[in-house]
Chain A
Amino acid sequence: MKAYECIVILDPKLEEVEVDKIAAKIEDMIQKGGGVLTNTNKWGKKKLAYEIDKVNEAYYVQFNFNAPFEFNKEFIKTVKFINGMIRAMVFNTPVEKKKTRKIATPAPATM
């Protein structure tokens, strides 16, 4: 199991209800595929930094989940073809590491 973060960009022409429906669908997909959903964050409508498909603003939804690698590969393929999807990306999120900095031991004094 690895930690992933998925961000989807949805068509601004959709209604809030439809956005919630798609979000619920993706959440369902994660849970059915053996993943564990940890967080869902709806950013709402945001202005895009550049035009995509003649669209200047879009809905953003963020999902955080833990899932096996194989699931993640299939997941992104299916998510991209949901109706109203402009862009979907999955990134791995770093696991917090304990700081284990090696302390240099002074070399034994030579002649």
Chain B
Amino acid sequence: MAYSNSSHRPDRKKMGGRTPHSKVCHFCKDGVDFLDYKDVPRLRRLVNDRGKILPRRVTGNCARHQRMVTVSVKRARELALLPFVSERA
């Protein structure tokens, strides 16, 4: 789990903020061993509308799967399956 409430952090609830809910890596959940760069619909969900790769703190991916994401997004970009940059959609 990416974030857990550890004791040295201030209690967010007392401070009136939102409590971060723990995220689970979706790839781990599905038992994905290999992320295909040809799987464009899946990769689309891992980049923002500008075509930038979403950070781990947003998607909740584990380190291993985030590495697979970066490699396959970059491969897809080279093959013109995904844009390097896209104008604001």
Contact = CB atoms under 8 A, between A and B. Distances in A.
B80 A9 contact: yes
Contacts of A97: 33
**By DSSP majority rule, is chain B's interface helix, strand, loop, or mixed?**
loop
A50 B79 contact: no
Contact of B82 (A9, A49, A52, A89): A49
Q: How many residues of B sit at the interface, in one of the four size bands?
A: 10 to 19
Interface residues of A, number: 15
Contact of A94 (B34, B78, B83): B34
A62 B75 CA distance: 14
Interface of A: 7, 9, 48-50, 52, 58, 60, 62, 87, 89, 91, 94, 96-97
Interface of B: 33-34, 37-38, 75, 77-84, 86
Given A9-B79, A60-B79, A91-B75, 16 more contacts: A9-B80, A48-B80, A49-B80, A49-B83, A49-B86, A50-B80, A50-B84, A58-B80, A62-B38, A87-B80, A89-B75, A89-B78, A89-B79, A91-B37, A94-B34, A96-B33
